[in-house]
Structure 1
Amino acid sequence: MNRNLAKRKRAERRFRFYGIGAILFGFACLLILFSDIIGKGHGAFFQTQIQLQVRFNAQQLQITDPTSKTQLDNANYDAVIENALLRDNGALLDAELPALEKRHLLSLVSTGAVYSLKTVLKNAPETLNQTVSIWLTADDDVDNYVKSIGRDGQGFSGRLSLQQQKWVERWVENGQVRQTFNTTFFTEGDSREPEQAGIRSALMGSLYMLLVTIGLSFPIGISAAVYLEEYAPRNRLTDFIEVNINNLAAVPSIIFGLLGLAIFIGFFDMPRSIPLVGGLVLTLMTLPTIIISSRAAIKAVPSSIRDAAFGLGASKMQVVLHHVVPLAMPGMLTGAIIGFAQALGETAPLLMIGMVAFIVDVPADLLDPSSALPVQIFLWADSPERAFIERTSAAIMVLLAFLITMNGLAVWLRHRLGRGQ
Structure 2
Amino acid sequence: MSEMAQTAEEATVRRPDLSNARLRKRYAAERRFRLYGLLAVLAAVGMLAVLLGSIVLNGYSAFLQTHIALDVHMDETVIMAEGDTPEAMADANYRALVFKAIERRFPSVRDMGEQRELHRLVSGGAPRAIKDMVLDNPALVGTTQTVWVKADDEIDMLHKGYVDRTLPENRRLVNDRTLGWYDSLREADLIELQFNTTFFTGTDSREPEQAGILGAAVGSFLTLFVTLLLSFPVAVLAAIYLEEFAPKNRLTDLIEVNINNLAAVPSIVFGLLGLAVIINFFGFPRSSPLVGGIVLALMTLPTIIISARSALKAVPPSVREAALGIGASRIQTVTHHVLPLALPGVLTGTIIGMAQALGETAPLLMVGMVAFVVAVPSGFTDASTVLPVQIFLWSDSPERAFVEKTSAAIMVLLAFLITMNAVAVFLRKRFERRW
Q: TM-score range by the shorter chain?
A: over 0.9
Aligned residue type for 2:97: V
Cα distance change on mapping 1:104 and 1:402 into 2, 3 Å: same
Alignment partner of 1:267 out of 267, 274, 281:
281
TM-score (norm 2): 0.92
* Deviations 1:299-329 (CA, angstroms, capped at 9, x unpaired): 1111111111111111101111111111111
Shift of residue 159, structure 1, vs aligned partner: 2.9
- Structure 1 gap segments, 5+ residues each: none
In 1, are the aligned partners of 2:165 and 2:172 still within 8 Å (CA)?
A: no
Alignment partner of 1:367 out of 364, 381, 387:
381
* Corresponding residue for residue 37 of structure 1: 55
Shift of residue 152, structure 1, vs aligned partner: 9.2
Alignment partner of 1:17 out of 14, 35, 40:
35
Q: What is the total number of aligned residue pairs between the two structures?
A: 416
How many angstroms apart in 1 are the aligned matches of 2:297 and 2:164?
53
- Name the % identity: 54
Shift of residue 63, structure 1, vs aligned partner: 2.9
In 2, are the aligned partners of 1:54 and 1:81 still within 8 Å (CA)?
A: yes
SS of the residue corresponding to residue 203 of structure 2 reads coil
How many angstroms apart in 2 are the aligned matches of 1:149 and 1:303?
64
* Corresponding residue for residue 260 of structure 2: 246
SS of the residue corresponding to residue 136 of structure 1 reads strand
Shift of residue 82, structure 1, vs aligned partner: 1.2
TM-score (norm 1): 0.95
Cα distance change on mapping 1:289 and 1:109 into 2, 3 Å: same
1:172-321 equivalent positions in 2, closer than 5 A: 172-321=186-335
* Deviations 1:106-127 (CA, angstroms, capped at 9, x unpaired): 0110010011110111122122
How many angstroms apart in 1 are the aligned matches of 2:373 and 2:123?
20
Alignment partner of 1:128 out of 141, 146, 171:
141
1:379 aligns with 2:393: yes
Shift of residue 151, structure 1, vs aligned partner: 12
Cα distance change on mapping 1:62 and 1:161 into 2, 3 Å: farther
SS of the residue corresponding to residue 388 of structure 1 reads helix
1:56 aligns with 2:74: yes
In 2, are the aligned partners of 1:145 and 1:158 still within 8 Å (CA)?
A: no
* Corresponding residue for residue 334 of structure 1: 348
1:46 aligns with 2:60: no
Aligned residue type for 2:279: I
* Deviations 1:229-288 (CA, angstroms, capped at 9, x unpaired): 100011111111111101000000000001111111011101100000000000000000
Q: Which protein shows a greater Rg?
A: 2
Cα distance change on mapping 1:125 and 1:144 into 2, 3 Å: same
Shift of residue 153, structure 1, vs aligned partner: 10
Shift of residue 160, structure 1, vs aligned partner: 1.8
Cα distance change on mapping 1:244 and 1:417 into 2, 3 Å: same
How many angstroms apart in 2 are the aligned matches of 1:43 and 1:409?
29
1:105-116 equivalent positions in 2, closer than 5 A: 105-116=118-129
In 2, are the aligned partners of 1:347 and 1:375 still within 8 Å (CA)?
A: yes
Shift of residue 65, structure 1, vs aligned partner: 4.0
In 2, are the aligned partners of 1:213 and 1:282 still within 8 Å (CA)?
A: yes
* Deviations 1:75-108 (CA, angstroms, capped at 9, x unpaired): 1112111111111112xx2xx5111101110011
How many angstroms apart in 2 are the aligned matches of 1:72 and 1:273?
35
Cα distance change on mapping 1:26 and 1:51 into 2, 3 Å: same
* Deviations 1:349-402 (CA, angstroms, capped at 9, x unpaired): 000000000000000011111001000000000000000001000000000000
Cα distance change on mapping 1:216 and 1:342 into 2, 3 Å: same
Query: Which has the higher mean CA deviation after the structures are superposed, 123-132 or 106-115?
Result: 123-132
Query: Which has the higher mean CA deviation after the structures are superposed, 309-318 or 249-258?
Result: 309-318
Shift of residue 293, structure 1, vs aligned partner: 0.9
CA RMSD of aligned residues (A): 1.9
1:392-407 equivalent positions in 2, closer than 5 A: 392-407=406-421
Aligned residue type for 1:39: L
1:89 aligns with 2:106: yes
How many angstroms apart in 2 are the aligned matches of 1:401 and 1:43?
17
How many angstroms apart in 1 are the aligned matches of 2:164 and 2:189?
17
1:100 aligns with 2:117: no
SS of the residue corresponding to residue 71 of structure 2 reads strand
SS of the residue corresponding to residue 267 of structure 1 reads coil
Aligned residue type for 1:381: S
How many angstroms apart in 2 are the aligned matches of 1:275 and 1:3?
67
Aligned residue type for 1:21: L
Shift of residue 60, structure 1, vs aligned partner: 3.5
In 1, are the aligned partners of 2:163 and 2:173 still within 8 Å (CA)?
A: no
How many angstroms apart in 2 are the aligned matches of 1:153 and 1:132?
37
SS of the residue corresponding to residue 403 of structure 1 reads helix
Query: Which has the higher mean CA deviation after the structures are superposed, 308-317 or 273-282?
Result: 308-317
In 1, are the aligned partners of 2:72 and 2:97 still within 8 Å (CA)?
A: yes
In 2, are the aligned partners of 1:49 and 1:177 still within 8 Å (CA)?
A: yes
1:146 aligns with 2:190: no
In 2, are the aligned partners of 1:141 and 1:158 still within 8 Å (CA)?
A: no
Cα distance change on mapping 1:388 and 1:411 into 2, 3 Å: same
Alignment partner of 2:46 out of 16, 24, 28:
28
How many angstroms apart in 2 are the aligned matches of 1:19 and 1:373?
36
* Corresponding residue for residue 7 of structure 1: 25
1:119 aligns with 2:136: no
Shift of residue 33, structure 1, vs aligned partner: 0.4
